[in-house]
Structure 1
Amino acid sequence: MSEKSRTRPGAAGGALTADRPTALRNVVLVGHSGSGKTTLVEALALASGAVNRAGRVEDGGCLSDYDEIEHRQQRSVQLSLVPVDWGGVKINILDTPGYADFVGELRAGLRAADAALFVVSAADGVAGATRTVWDECAAVGMPRALVVTHLEAARADFDEMTRRCRDTFGGDDPDAVLPLYLPLYGTPGADGQAPVHGLIDLLSQRVFDHSSGERTERAPAADELPLIAQARNRLIEGIIAESEDETLMDRYLGGEEIDLKTLTSDLETAVARGTFHPVLAAAPAADGARQGLGTIELLELITRGFPTPAERPAPAVTGTDGAPCAALTCDPDGPLAAEVVKTSSDPYVGRVSLVRIFSGTLRPDETVHVSGHGLEDRGHEDHDVDERVGALSVPFGKQQRPLSRAIAGDLACVAKLTRAETGDTLSAKDAPLLMEPWAMPDPLLPVAIEAHSKADEDKLSLGLSRLVAEDPTLRLEHNPDTHQMVLWCLGEAHVDVALERLRSRYGVQVDTVAHKVALQETFGTTASGRGRHVKQSGGHGQFAICEITVEPLPVGSGIEFVDKVVGGAVPRQFIPSVEKGVRAQAARGVAVGHPLVDIRVTLHDGKSHSVDSSDAAFQKSGALALREAAAEARIDLLEPVAEVAVLVPDDFVGPVMSDLSSRRGRVVGTEQSGAGRTLIRAEVPETELGRYAIDLRSLSHGTGRFSRVHARHEPMPSQLAQKVREEAENGA
C-alpha cells in the first residue's frame, strides 16, 4: 500500500491533524436500522483509545447519537463524524442513519467517504435497501468491505450470514466476497447458544482469543485446524484471482506455498481497488475490556486495505460559468475545492457546515467563494458569493475540537458560513469553482402545515428557510392553487424529525392539515349567462350588462375569449374589461373554488351607459355572467394525473401492479432494468399518490422506489367529484 504519515493529536484536547493525504482514511458505515453501526463506531473509538469507555468521551459526554431528537426517537437521524487515530493514520468514520427516510444523510456520507463498510446483522440478515446502496457504490467503484454484527443473538450463524452476503453482493463473482476471519465459539450456555470468544485469522492461521476479557494471540489448537483448511483455501484462491501477478494462480495450483506477505499485499491491493470485499466479524468489548472482538482487525483493514483520499478521483468541477476546468487532485498545495456535505445549527455558534476538502488547504478566517447549484424547486436559492470562513473544528460527540487547518482529503466543520448550504462548493475567491452535485432523492411525501399561532406565523418563514438549508432532501412549496404551505419529505419519520427541529431549534410550532391536490373545473355542457351590474348610490352610478356563451374545450386548451359584439352594444374600450372579469372569476372557480379551465367564452351582446359605465363595472358584469352560465351548466372537476415510474425487484412486481390498479392507475408498460429488477410505468391520479411513498416501501420491503411527473388533467369520476363538492359545502 501507499506510504503513510503519522497524525498528530491536537494540543489540549484539540483535534487530530494529518500532515498529508496519505495519512487519512475516510470510511462510511452503511447498514439498515438496528444493524449495529453506532455500537460499532463506539467500539472502534474505544479500541483506538479515543474514548475512555464505550460511548463516552474523556469528559463523560456521549460520543454518538447525542442529538436530543435521536435520544427521544431512539435512532440515528443524521450523519455524524467520529475521527480516531490508528497506527499514525487519522480515520474519519462517518456513521449514517439506517432508516430509509434519512437516505439523504447516507448519500452525503457516501460523497464524503473513499470507502464503505457495510454492517449486516447476523440476527436480521441483509435488507433489500442495503443491496441498493451496494449497487450505487459498485457503479462508482467505491471499495467495500462487510462486517457481521450481533453474533451473540439467538440463532445467529456466521457461516450462513457469509453465504447470504456472497449471494447478495457477489454478483457474477461470489468468490470476491469471502471472510478473512472465522469466529471461534465457546461452550454453549444453558440457552444452547455458544458464545463467540475469538477469531481465527485464515491467512496467518493465528487465533485472537478474547475469552479472558482481553485480546491474546496464540496458535490454533489441533481441534481448531479443521475449521481453517477449506475456508483458507477458498480465500487464497479468491485473493490470487484478483492478483496482478498472472503467474500466481498457476504456481498455487501447482502446489507452491504462496508466502503470507504476497497474499496480504495482493489482498490489500484488491480491497483498495474495489474488486475484493472481505467479510469480518465484530462484537462490543466485554465489561472492563478496551478491545472488542474484531475491532483491531477492522482498524487494520481500514488503514492498510482502504484507499487514501489521493487514490480516489475527486468530483468533476467547472467554473461558475460552466466552463470546463482541469480535474482536481488531492494536493494540499493545489487550488482550494471543498464541498459542504452537511449543514446543521448550533445554539451557540449558529450555522455549522461539515466540509470535505478535495483539493488545497482550508484555513480559518480566510475568505472563500461559495457557489450553489440553486435547487429552486426545493426552496434552495442559487448563490454565488464570497464569505469569510470562521473557526475550523472537528466534532467529537457534543464537543468541537479546534483545527488550525484542514488539508486535501480531510473533513472539518466550518462555522459562520451564513450563505453556504448542503451541496455547495467552497473555492478560492479569485478562482471560483462549482462541483458536480451528487444525486439527491426526490421527496415524494407531502405534508401541509400551518402556523400554530400568530407568534409562530411571524417566525415560520425564517424557520423553514433554515430547515431546508440544513436538509436538501426537503422541498418547500407554496402552492398557488390550494394556498397551502407544503413540506415534501421522504417518509413519516422524516416528517417527525423536520417538525421537531422546527419546534426545538427554531421555536416554531406548526399544525399539520390535510394536503389538498390542485383540482380544476370545466364546463361539461354549453351554457349562456347574463351579467347585470346596475347600482345607483348618488353621484355616478355603476352600469354594465353583458351576455356570454360558454362552451367546453378539449383538456389543456386553457381559456379562449371571443368578441362577437356588433353595433357597439358594449363599447370597444370595455370589451377587455369583460374579459378581465371573466378570467378573474375563472381563477376563483365557479363550483367549489378551483380554477376554471378549458372553455371558450363568447361575448355577443350587452348594454352600457354614457356616464355610469366603467372598467370596474364591466369587470363585475363579466364575472356575474360567468357565474350565471355555470349555474345553468354541468360543471366537471378535473384531477391531475401523474406519470409514475416504479422500480422494484421482480418478486414484488405483482403486488405493486395490483396496488397501482387499486389507485385507479393505468399500467402502460413494464421493462427490465438490470438483473432482477423491473421498471413499471403507469398513469395514476395524483389524489391517489399522497401516501404512496410510505405504501410502496411497505409493499416492497424497502426495496422499491418511484418517480412522478405531472402529465395532464382528466375528468374526475362523478362519485368522487360529488364527495369533493360535499366537503366544500360543509367547509371541510
Structure 2
Amino acid sequence: MDIKRIRNVAFISHGGAGKTSLVEAILFNAKATNRIGSVDNGTSVMDFDPVEIERHLSLHAKVSSIEWLETQINIVDTPGYANFLHETRAGLSAVGGAVVIASAITGVKAETQRVWKFAEEFDLAKLIFVNKMDKDRADFFRALGDIEKSFKIDPLPIFLPIGKETDFKGIIDLVKMKAYLYPEEPTAAYTVHDIPAELLPEAEKYRIKLLEAVSETDDALIEKYLEEGDLTEEEITKGLREGTISKRFIPVICGSAVKNIGSKLLLEAIIKYLPSPIEREHRLAIVEETGEEIHVDPLSKEFSAYVFKTFIDPFAGKLTIFRVVSGEISNDSEVYNTQAGKKEKITQLYLLQGKNHVKVDRLTAGQIGMVNKLRYTETFDTLCDPKRKITFPKYELQAPLLAYSIKPKSKDDEDKVSSGVHRLMEEDVGLRVDRDERTGDLLVKGMGQMHIEVVVEKLKNKFGVSVELKSPKVPYMETIRKSAKGQGKYKKQSGGRGQYGDVHIELHPNSGSGFEFVNNIVGGAVPRQYIPAVEKGIIEAAQEGVLAGFPLIDFKAVLYDGSYHTVDSSEMAFMIAGSMAFKKVALDAKPVLLEPIMNLDVFVPDDMTGAVIGDLNARRGRIANVEPETNGQHIRSQVPMSEVLKYAPDLRSMTGGHGMFTMEFSHYEELPSHLVDKVIAENKGA
C-alpha cells in the first residue's frame, strides 16, 4: 500500500454522540458489511464485547480498516464516557488525524472537551462532524456556536444542512456550490441539484467565509481571490488541505449517522483534508545503544511499530494491535521488543474490521494491523528490527481514581480472580491491581465506579468467576507540619553476634516536594556503607505512617549523628534504627491526615442546578463557578473524594438520569479536625 494513500483517523466525542453509529454507516458504504449495525439492538460490528452489547456503549478503542477511493482508511472508534477515556487517549496516540463528532442536539459536552485536549496533546489535524441533524431539537448553527465557545476556535463549515429535525433531507456543498438530496432509505446515495433559492443567501455568506479562510493559506491564492473574488474547486480543496493539516482551521461537516446522510462526504473529506502518515508523523524514538533521540522517517526501510491496544480473547488468546511506523513486516518474521528485551515471532498478520479479522501476508509503513499470541509484548511497547533497536516513548498515564477490594464468592476461585484481573489489566491500561498489605485484600483500581463494575462483569463473562465488591477505599495520606528531631537506637544481644544501630535524625515539612533524604554525618559517626540502610528504613516506615497507617509524604529527613559497633552493626540493624527514629520523631512533628480533593464538573439541566449545588455544598464541596451550556449548566467544583465515591447513582437519582459528570484528581488537603478521629478509628479497625 502506497503510504500516501493511507489515512489513520480516530473518531472522538462524548458518549452518545453517535461515533460508533457513524462508523457502522461507513463500513456499510465501503461494503465491509452488508447492513448498518446498531448499537441499540446489539448488532454493531464495532461494539462486540458482551458487556458493550449489554450496556449499549463503547468500552475499548477498536479499529476498522476500509478502502475508499483507492485509499486505505484506518478508523479508530473510541469510547466517549468519562470512565473509559484512557482508551480514547491510547487510540489517539496511533493516528494522524481525528474526526470530532458533535451532537446537533446537545452540542459539546465535557468528555468532548477532554478528548479534544488529548487530540491537541498529540498534535492531530481535525475535522468536525455535526451528527444527529435528523433528531428533535437539532440545530446546526447552535452547535457551531457551541463548538466555537467550547474549543476556542473559529469553525469553518464546508457543508450546510438542508432542513433540520424530521425535515433534514440534504446537504449544501460550499466547495462545489451544489445541493445533495437524500432518499428516505439509508443508502448514502444522493442526487445533485442547484441550491434552493431560499437557501442561497446563507450559502453564499458561508462560501465567502470559506474562500477568505482558504485564500489565507497561500500568497498566490489570496492574490487571486482579491483580484477575482473567487477560487476554483481545485484551489479551494488545496487550500483546505493545507489549512487543515497545518491546523489553521477545522472544517465542519454535517449529517446523520443513522440515516447515512453525509457519511460518504465525510470519507471524502478525510482523504482530501487529513494527512497521510508521511505528512505529519515522524515519530520521536530513542536509540537503545546510544540513548540518542531521533525522528523515525516513515519511508525508512527498517521496521518499527508502536503497540497501542491489547485484547484478551478467551479463545484466540492475546491480540496485539499496532501501528507500523516504518518499514514493513510479514508473516513468519522475527521482531525485537525493546521494552521486554525479547524477540517475538510473528505468525499471522491481520487487518481489522471491528470484530472481524482479515488475514494479510504483510503490513507496511502507516498501516494498522494485528497479530496474536505474542509472548512478551504489552500495550505501548515498541516492536522493531533487531538490527536497529529503538523505543517510542510512552506517554504518562493518568492514575486510577477509585479503588475497590474484591473477593470471590467462592473460596475455590481465589486464584482465578487474581489471574483474571491480571489478564484484564493487559488489555486495560487504566486498570491497576494491588494487594493491601494490611488486610490482604485484592484491590482493583480504576477510573470510576462504572469502570470497576465493567471489570466485575468481564471477570464473570471471560473467566467464569463471580466476585463481591467492598466499599471503595479513600487513599488518605499523612504528612508533618513542624520540624522535630530524635534518636532511634536498636540494640539486641542474645548470645553470639548481636545487632547494633544508632541514628539521630531531624524531620522537616517538605510541602509539595515529596521525600528528600540528607546525609549530614561527619567524622564517620555512621559508616558510609550503612547510610543507605538508614534511608531505606525511613522510607519503609513512612509507608505505614504514624497516625492511621497511611503513607506519610512530603518530608525531609536529615541524618546528623549516630554511633555503631565494629562487630554487631549491620545494614539490617541500621535499617531498623532508621525506622524506629522515624516513628518516634514523626509523632513529635505534628502529623496530620491529608485527604484527596477531586475536580468535579457536573452538567445538569437548568431547572436542576440549585438542587445539585445544594448537594455539593452538603458534601463539603467548593463551587468554583457555574457556566451556562447548551441545554443546561456546567458546575465546576472541588469536592473531597470521600464525599463522592458513589456520586454516579446519587446524581442519576437527583436529576432523573439527565445529569452527567466528570471527575479527576486535583490535590491533597488537610482533613478537617472533626473528621480525623473517625478516619483513624475506621482504619485501625480495618
What is the aligned counterpart of 2:76 among 84, 94, 97?
A: 94
CA distance in 2, matches of 1:586, 1:258: 70
CA distance in 1, matches of 2:181, 2:547: 78
Describe the SS at the equivalent of 1:418. Answer: coil
2:157 paired residue number? 179
Is the 1:132–1:703 Cα contact (8 Å) retained in structure 2?
no
What is the CA-CA distance between 1:20 and the residue it aligns to? 2.0
What is the CA-CA distance between 1:200 and the residue it aligns to? 1.1
- AA aligned to 2:200 is L
Is the 1:117–1:146 Cα contact (8 Å) retained in structure 2?
yes
What is the aligned counterpart of 1:342 among 302, 309, 312?
A: 309
- AA aligned to 2:348 is A
Is the 2:477–2:595 Cα contact (8 Å) retained in structure 1?
no
Describe the SS at the equivalent of 1:326. Answer: strand
Is the 1:482–1:517 Cα contact (8 Å) retained in structure 2?
no
Is the 2:621–2:640 Cα contact (8 Å) retained in structure 1?
yes
- AA aligned to 2:170 is G
2:483 paired residue number? none
What is the CA-CA distance between 1:342 and the residue it aligns to? 0.5
What is the CA-CA distance between 1:343 and the residue it aligns to? 0.6
- AA aligned to 2:176 is S
What is the CA-CA distance between 1:257 and the residue it aligns to? 3.1
1:311 paired residue number? 279
CA distance in 1, matches of 2:129, 2:411: 52
Does 1:200 pair with 2:172?
yes
1:593/1:415 Cα in 2 relative to 1: closer, same or farther (>3 Å)?
closer
CA distance in 2, matches of 1:591, 1:134: 42
Describe the SS at the equivalent of 2:169. Answer: strand
1:660/1:428 Cα in 2 relative to 1: closer, same or farther (>3 Å)?
farther
- AA aligned to 1:280 is I
Deviations 1:151-171 (A, max 9, x none): 112221112222322333343
What is the CA-CA distance between 1:638 and the residue it aligns to? 5.8
1:662/1:322 Cα in 2 relative to 1: closer, same or farther (>3 Å)?
farther
Task: Report 1:127-526 matches (<5 A).
Answer: 127-171=109-153, 174=154, 177-185=155-163, 194-211=166-183, 213=185, 214-242=189-217, 244=218, 246-284=219-257, 286=259, 292-320=260-288, 323-331=291-299, 334-372=301-339, 383-514=340-471, 515=473
1:367/1:661 Cα in 2 relative to 1: closer, same or farther (>3 Å)?
farther
What is the CA-CA distance between 1:724 and the residue it aligns to? 5.2
CA distance in 2, matches of 1:587, 1:183: 60
- AA aligned to 1:334 is K
- AA aligned to 2:158 is L
Describe the SS at the equivalent of 1:443. Answer: coil
CA distance in 2, matches of 1:215, 1:124: 27
Moved more, 485-494 or 25-34: 485-494
CA distance in 2, matches of 1:727, 1:704: 25
Deviations 1:362-384 (A, max 9, x none): 22222211133xxxxxxxxxx32
- AA aligned to 1:181 is F
Task: Report 1:96-135 matches (<5 A).
Answer: 96-135=78-117
CA distance in 2, matches of 1:108, 1:253: 44
Gaps of 5+ in 1: 1-18, 187-192, 287-291, 373-382, 523-551, 558-583, 599-625, 668-679
What is the CA-CA distance between 1:62 and the residue it aligns to? 4.2
CA distance in 2, matches of 1:518, 1:166: 40
Moved more, 229-238 or 251-260: 251-260
Is the 2:169–2:182 Cα contact (8 Å) retained in structure 1?
yes
1:429/1:644 Cα in 2 relative to 1: closer, same or farther (>3 Å)?
farther
When normalised by structure 1's length, the TM-score is 0.70
- AA aligned to 1:207 is A
Describe the SS at the equivalent of 1:82. Answer: strand
Compute the RMSD of aligned alpha carbons: 5.3
- AA aligned to 1:200 is I
What is the CA-CA distance between 1:302 and the residue it aligns to? 0.9
1:21/1:696 Cα in 2 relative to 1: closer, same or farther (>3 Å)?
farther
Is the 1:445–1:691 Cα contact (8 Å) retained in structure 2?
no
- AA aligned to 1:96 is T
Moved more, 81-90 or 443-452: 443-452
Deviations 1:618-660 (A, max 9, x none): xxxxxxxx9xxx9xxx9999664268695989x99xx99x979
1:420/1:593 Cα in 2 relative to 1: closer, same or farther (>3 Å)?
closer
CA distance in 2, matches of 1:264, 1:585: 65
1:487/1:224 Cα in 2 relative to 1: closer, same or farther (>3 Å)?
same
1:554/1:23 Cα in 2 relative to 1: closer, same or farther (>3 Å)?
closer
What is the CA-CA distance between 1:260 and the residue it aligns to? 2.2
Is the 2:242–2:273 Cα contact (8 Å) retained in structure 1?
yes
Is the 1:282–1:295 Cα contact (8 Å) retained in structure 2?
yes
1:212/1:396 Cα in 2 relative to 1: closer, same or farther (>3 Å)?
closer
Is the 2:173–2:179 Cα contact (8 Å) retained in structure 1?
yes
1:614 paired residue number? none
CA distance in 2, matches of 1:283, 1:222: 24
What is the CA-CA distance between 1:696 and the residue it aligns to? 12
Is the 1:24–1:410 Cα contact (8 Å) retained in structure 2?
yes
Does 1:706 pair with 2:674?
no
What is the CA-CA distance between 1:329 and the residue it aligns to? 1.1
When normalised by structure 2's length, the TM-score is 0.74
Moved more, 24-33 or 505-514: 505-514
Q: Which has the larger radius of gyration?
A: 1
1:225/1:403 Cα in 2 relative to 1: closer, same or farther (>3 Å)?
same
Is the 1:26–1:309 Cα contact (8 Å) retained in structure 2?
yes
Gaps of 5+ in 2: 481-505, 516-539, 556-579, 625-635
- AA aligned to 1:360 is G
1:253/1:388 Cα in 2 relative to 1: closer, same or farther (>3 Å)?
same
What is the CA-CA distance between 1:414 and the residue it aligns to? 1.0
Q: Alignment length, in residue pairs?
A: 605
Moved more, 311-320 or 342-351: 311-320
1:596/1:347 Cα in 2 relative to 1: closer, same or farther (>3 Å)?
closer
1:201/1:708 Cα in 2 relative to 1: closer, same or farther (>3 Å)?
same
CA distance in 2, matches of 1:135, 1:69: 28
1:85 paired residue number? 67
Does 1:41 pair with 2:20?
no
Percent pairwise identity: 29
Task: Report 1:544-563 matches (<5 A).
Answer: none
1:448/1:203 Cα in 2 relative to 1: closer, same or farther (>3 Å)?
same
Deviations 1:188-224 (A, max 9, x none): xxxxx55111111112111111146541112234344
Task: Report 1:664-679 matches (<5 A).
Answer: none
Task: Report 1:578-617 matches (<5 A).
Answer: none
Is the 2:89–2:115 Cα contact (8 Å) retained in structure 1?
no
What is the CA-CA distance between 1:438 and the residue it aligns to? 2.4
Deviations 1:476-519 (A, max 9, x none): 22233454332221111111112222222233332222326578
